[in-house]
Amino acid sequence: MQPVFKSLRLAAVSLVTAAGLCAPAGAAEPALRAVASFSILGDLVRQVGGERVAVEVLVGPGSDAHVYSPKPAQAKQVGQAQLVLSNGMGFDGWMARLLKSAGFKGRHVVASAGIQPLKGAADEHGHGHAHAAADPHVWQDVARVQAYVKNIAQGLCAADAAGCDSYRSNAAAYGQQLDALDQEIRRAWSAIPAPQRLVISSHDAFGYYASAYGVRFLAPQGVSTDSEASAQGVARLVRQIRQEKASALFVESIADPRLIEQIARETGLKASSEGLYSDSLAPQGEAASYLGMMRYNTRVLIAAIQRR
């Protein structure tokens, strides 16, 4: 295993191990009940909230927030929370209806507030969606997640002023980890020539990663897994894969694999045995935290390209 891959894997495993050791026995009852819309956001809230905040997640690891339908019991869960956090940008658009049906009276924080969204690829690129929608997958750029952390800390302070010093301290410490990870990912990609940085994924979820780290992503579906991939768009994508000799083909953890399997058959390009995590953490293991997920994705992307 090359040193950069080894360091990525060891760092991710260490984070997962440390997470399981951080809650001391007899810890004080959490001061705040918070609900996050999906697993990646839930992890960020836990990092900033620490032991003062009990965080529940509506769309858990391995589930797709794009097409999620809240369960009736979750209205009660939300109604009892003091703070609810959503991603925004249309990613969890069902949240407004849920807050209304729950009679929610607490504070609602949109974690992506203040971030200028990228646009998803338009159909002239052959990806089959009718227009360039706002891309909600901001977390795929580690540096932009600093804005999430700031918004989360402000929301926690507003809901629990007594814990504000703790939240700000946690946010600053986590921000340093994000800075280190961002630089780590940039170093990892620096060894890969730009023309080789071409990846095929299930849906258009990696635009921010592409912009931040100089990687090209092509996908048959748009920014939502609910979008339809046209036969004409898939055919154009197949031709492009052949022309550019792409070598990295991935099924995302939340995606139906059949479309990628079709593309693999038509191009002769074998899909990676390791999937990508786009919109959800893993239930356990290396990609069970945000930092771990980003390290994992970077490791498997680079490994797939280097195997060509």
State what percent of residues in the chain have pLDDT above 90.
Answer: 56
Pair (174, 200) in one structural domain: no
Please, how many CA atoms are within 13 Å of residue 295, restricted to the half-sphere of its CB? 26
Pair (81, 154) in one structural domain: yes
Domain with residue 36: its CATH number is 3.40.50.1980
Residue 184 has what pLDDT? Answer: 98
Q: What angle do CA 206, 173, 139 make, to 5 degrees?
A: 10
Mean pLDDT, to the nearest integer, of 103-118?
96
Pair (92, 225) in one structural domain: no
pLDDT of 64 strictly over 60: yes
DSSP assignment of 75-135, as one string?
Answer: HHHHHT-SEEEE--TTTTTTHHHHHHHHT--SEEEETTTTPPPEEPPPGGGTS--SS-PEE
**Per-residue pLDDT band at 223 (split at 50, 70, 90):** low
Residue 270 lies in a domain: yes
pTM of the shown model: 0.83
Pair (163, 213) in one structural domain: no
Residue 256 has what pLDDT? Answer: 65
Residue 54 lies in a domain: yes
Residue 12 lies in a domain: no
Pair (173, 236) in one structural domain: no
**Per-residue pLDDT band at 226 (split at 50, 70, 90):** low
Task: Please state the domain count of the chain.
Answer: 2
Residue 224 has what pLDDT? Answer: 63
Residue range 149-197, pLDDT digits in tens: 999 999 999 999 999 999 999 999 999 999 999 999 999 999 999 989 9
Q: In terms of C-beta density within 10 A (0-12 exposed, 13-18 middle, 19 or more buried), how is residue 171 classed?
A: buried
Pair (249, 278) in one structural domain: yes
14 vs 219: which has the higher pLDDT: 219
Q: If DSSP states are collapsed to H, E and C, what string results for the chain?
A: CCHHHHHHHHHHHHHHHHHCCCCCCCCCCCCEEEEEEEHHHHHHHHHHHHHHEEEEEEECCCCCHHHCCCCHHHHHHHHCCCEEEECCCCCCCCHHHHHHHHCCCCEEEECCCCCCCEECCCHHHCCCCCCCCEECCHHHCHHHHHHHHHHHHHHHHHHCHHHHHHHHHHHHHHHHHHHHHHHHHHHHHHCCCHHHCEEECCECCCHHHHHHHCCEEECCECCCCCCCCCHHHHHHHHHHHHHHCCCEECCECCCCCHHHHHHHHHHCCCCCCCCECCCCCCCCCCCCCHHHHHHHHHHHHHHHHHCC
Mean pLDDT, to the nearest integer, of 83-103?
95
Residue range 166-179, pLDDT digits in tens: 999 999 999 999 99
Pair (171, 234) in one structural domain: no
State what percent of residues in the chain have pLDDT above 70.
Answer: 80
Pair (229, 160) in one structural domain: no
Structural domain for 148, as ranges: 32-116+133-178
Lowest mean pLDDT among 15-24, 78-87, 236-245: 15-24
Residue 173 lies in a domain: yes
Mean residue pLDDT across the chain: 84
Lowest mean pLDDT among 2-6, 31-35, 230-234, 253-257: 2-6
Q: List phi, psi (to 5°) of 146.
A: -55, -35
7 vs 210: which has the higher pLDDT: 210
Strands 198-200 and 216-218: parallel
Pair (163, 300) in one structural domain: no
**Per-residue pLDDT band at 85 (split at 50, 70, 90):** very high
The span from the CA of 271 to the CA of 263, in Å, is 9
Residue 43 has what pLDDT? Answer: 98
Pair (302, 212) in one structural domain: yes
**Per-residue pLDDT band at 121 (split at 50, 70, 90):** low
Pair (165, 55) in one structural domain: yes
Residue 76 has what pLDDT? Answer: 94
Mean pLDDT, to the nearest integer, of 202-218?
90
Residue 126 lies in a domain: no
**Per-residue pLDDT band at 19 (split at 50, 70, 90):** very low
pLDDT of 122 strictly over 70: no
Q: Which residues pair with 34 in a beta bridge?
A: 55, 83
Mean pLDDT, to the nearest integer, of 284-307?
94
Pair (289, 206) in one structural domain: yes
The span from the CA of 250 to the CA of 287, in Å, is 16
**Per-residue pLDDT band at 128 (split at 50, 70, 90):** very low
Mean pLDDT, to the nearest integer, of 217-244?
70
